[in-house]
A and B are shown apart, each in its own frame.
Chain A
């Protein structure tokens, strides 16, 4: 027992002595680092770049600052002659903000986390929904109903626990944009609407950050880098917002899941190139991807416009102007992606889905016209509804007349005329159709408010929504 006690005492003494030596060495390192910083700050050759990180050297004692674990984890990057230690070190020191954890943001975030970007910020205020999962591959079924940011952050952390993930569970608005964005070196626009794209662009101009912009819809994608190396900004290219009717959304027009996946991967690639100062980022050029014909085209864009209202020669777009700018008004579109709710008709030309159901049950003589496009009608439809898409309504009016006549003949005994109801997916196109029908003399036409979505919500919960 005595000898064991002596051993323990000896080990403890040795530990104490080593700790003292360690403290001494750390003090010497700090002093030398301070000297080195002094030299760098006086020397012009270092003034345009960031100071080489010295403190992390103590992890491994290697000049590049990568720990043995990092060397092993990122070995395939380090083996690339054109990327190597330099590229990886830069990546580890960089910070990238991804705005939108959806179809584009999902793959971008997965790659950025995996490749060792030092700090990744994620902005989103949505929750994960089942109909996101076909393309938003960072999320899993277990996270349905939960915050996309939490879900994405958890996925990133499970891939790489050595990097910092910052959660911004809020909508990106002029009120918080400058504060959030100023903490990052590079910005990835992975949003899905026009006002956000202008807002993110302008914020990047105010703060001088490169912007990796991607978009995808249907079977096509687009990618470019704005505000970098003398290239144009989004406003140089598109000084005037497009008309709202030209802005399609994935929730209306559909998107093949892999298409934003490809564009999101390319966004990660461009951000990695900028962060590690490797290669030629896609500035002043735009990549156009057409999935259906398997074609990628890279086109040359105009340079920075001297006339640009935010980045041009005479532009004086400040943080204050940015905060006061009304992007929804400017683009005539909402920042949130909630579906449009038109109100075109007087209340007596409208009927709720419940009321329609009552009339249906009572056997009222009527016809129901479904004005959705034919491929929507194929997904699901109400029995006995006639599909006449809004775009062909004008040409197919005679069909409505004859269907009404037929219905009236059937119900001749009751003596009443047949009613005409119009339905669509959400209750917007049905109002447009009723407006047109009224004009064409079908004065009894009424629309079913809220469309098939309200039918599913209020009448038949087993009726599929999409």
Chain B
């Protein structure tokens, strides 16, 4: 399925400074649906070029990263269990502290 993945707040530096990635990711291992959990491991393998610990901790994102599925906090859609659909837009954004 086609997804748009966006990285911001400095996370794009982990993917060759590219902010927007139009990708095709399909469910694997005979699974019907693609969950955020699977997408995260796909991102880690396919998009993150350096310092993966700056993106992930365990099987989720590291503290300080906000995940948005179609402009909604993923806490509202089930976090790692969020089921993704065709043309979803997923944003990973690191919180900023500067001023």
Residue numbers of A with Cβ under 8 A of B are: 100, 102-105, 190-194, 197, 214-218, 220-222, 237-243, 245-250, 253, 255, 260, 263, 286, 288, 290, 293, 297-302
Contact between chains at A299 and B54 (CB < 8 Å): no
Q: Which residues of B contact A250 (CB under 8 A)?
A: 98-99
For residue B36, CB closer than 8 A to chain A, the reply is: no
With A242-B94, A246-B62 as contacts: A260 and B76 at CB distance below 8 Å: no
Number of A-B contacts (CB under 8 A): 101
With A237-B66, A240-B63 as contacts: A299 and B72 at CB distance below 8 Å: yes
For residue B19, CB closer than 8 A to chain A, the reply is: yes
- Give the interface residue-count category, chain B: 20 to 34
Give the contacting residue for A302; candidates B8, B76, B95; CB below 8 A. Answer: B76
With A241-B64, A243-B62, A248-B10 as contacts: A302 and B97 at CB distance below 8 Å: no
Give the contacting residue for B98; candidates A217, A286, A290, A299; CB below 8 A. Answer: A217
Contact between chains at B99 and A214 (CB < 8 Å): yes
Contact between chains at A242 and B98 (CB < 8 Å): no
Contact between chains at B73 and A247 (CB < 8 Å): no
Taking the nearest CB of chain A, how far is it from the CB of B23, in angstroms?
Answer: 19
Contact between chains at B63 and A260 (CB < 8 Å): no
Give the contacting residue for A221; candidates B19, B53, B96; CB below 8 A. Answer: B96
CA distance A197 to B98 in the complex (A): 10
Contact between chains at B73 and A248 (CB < 8 Å): no
> Which are the 6 A-B pairs with shortest beta-carbon distances?
A242-B64, A217-B98, A240-B63, A215-B96, A302-B75, A104-B99
Contact between chains at A215 and B98 (CB < 8 Å): yes
CA distance A297 to B89 in the complex (A): 12
Chain B, residue nearest A251 (CB): B98
Q: Which residues of B contact A238 (CB under 8 A)?
A: 63-64, 95
With A220-B8, A238-B63, A242-B63 as contacts: A299 and B71 at CB distance below 8 Å: yes
Give the contacting residue for B97; candidates A215, A243, A300; CB below 8 A. Answer: A215
Q: Which residues of A contact B64 (CB under 8 A)?
A: 238, 240-243, 246
Contact between chains at A248 and B95 (CB < 8 Å): no
Give the contacting residue for B99; candidates A215, A237, A242, A288; CB below 8 A. Answer: A215
CA distance A316 to B19 in the complex (A): 41
Chain A, residue nearest B93 (CB): A288
Q: Which residues of B contact A243 (CB under 8 A)?
A: 53-54, 62-64
Taking the nearest CB of chain B, how far is it from the CB of A213, in angstroms?
Answer: 10
With A243-B63, A246-B62, A302-B76 as contacts: A216 and B71 at CB distance below 8 Å: no
With A242-B63, A290-B8 as contacts: A247 and B97 at CB distance below 8 Å: yes
Taking the nearest CB of chain A, how far is it from the CB of B58, in angstroms?
Answer: 12
Q: Which residues of A contact B15 (CB under 8 A)?
A: none
Contact between chains at A242 and B95 (CB < 8 Å): yes
For residue B9, CB closer than 8 A to chain A, the reply is: yes
Q: Which of B42-73 contact A (CB under 8 A)?
A: 53-54, 62-66, 68, 71-73
Chain B, residue nearest A333 (CB): B97
For residue B91, CB closer than 8 A to chain A, the reply is: yes
Taking the nearest CB of chain A, how far is it from the CB of B98, in angstroms?
Answer: 4
Chain A, residue nearest B20 (CB): A293
Taking the nearest CB of chain B, how far is it from the CB of A229, in angstroms?
Answer: 17
CA distance A365 to B25 in the complex (A): 56
Contact between chains at B62 and A300 (CB < 8 Å): no
Some 16 contacts from A to B, beta carbons below 8 A apart, are A190-B99, A193-B97, A197-B97, A215-B96, A215-B98, A216-B96, A217-B9, A217-B97, A221-B96, A222-B93, A237-B66, A238-B95, A242-B63, A243-B53, A299-B91, A302-B76
Give the contacting residue for A248; candidates B8, B19, B62, B98; CB below 8 A. Answer: B98
Contact between chains at B99 and A246 (CB < 8 Å): no
Taking the nearest CB of chain B, how far is it from the CB of A177, in angstroms?
Answer: 17
CA distance A222 to B91 in the complex (A): 14
Taking the nearest CB of chain B, how far is it from the CB of A160, in angstroms?
Answer: 24
Q: Which residues of B contact A191 (CB under 8 A)?
A: 99
CA distance A249 to B96 in the complex (A): 9
Taking the nearest CB of chain A, how far is it from the CB of B16, in angstroms?
Answer: 12
Contact between chains at A105 and B99 (CB < 8 Å): yes
Contact between chains at B94 and A246 (CB < 8 Å): yes
Contact between chains at B99 and A100 (CB < 8 Å): yes
CA distance A193 to B97 in the complex (A): 5
Contact between chains at A216 and B68 (CB < 8 Å): no
Taking the nearest CB of chain B, how far is it from the CB of A81, in angstroms?
Answer: 31
Contact between chains at A215 and B75 (CB < 8 Å): no
Query: Given A246-B64, A299-B71, list of 10 further CB < 8 A pairs?
Result: A103-B99, A217-B98, A241-B63, A242-B95, A246-B62, A248-B97, A255-B98, A260-B98, A288-B93, A290-B19
CA distance A221 to B9 in the complex (A): 8
Q: Which residues of A contact B19 (CB under 8 A)?
A: 290, 293
Taking the nearest CB of chain B, how far is it from the CB of A35, in angstroms?
Answer: 49
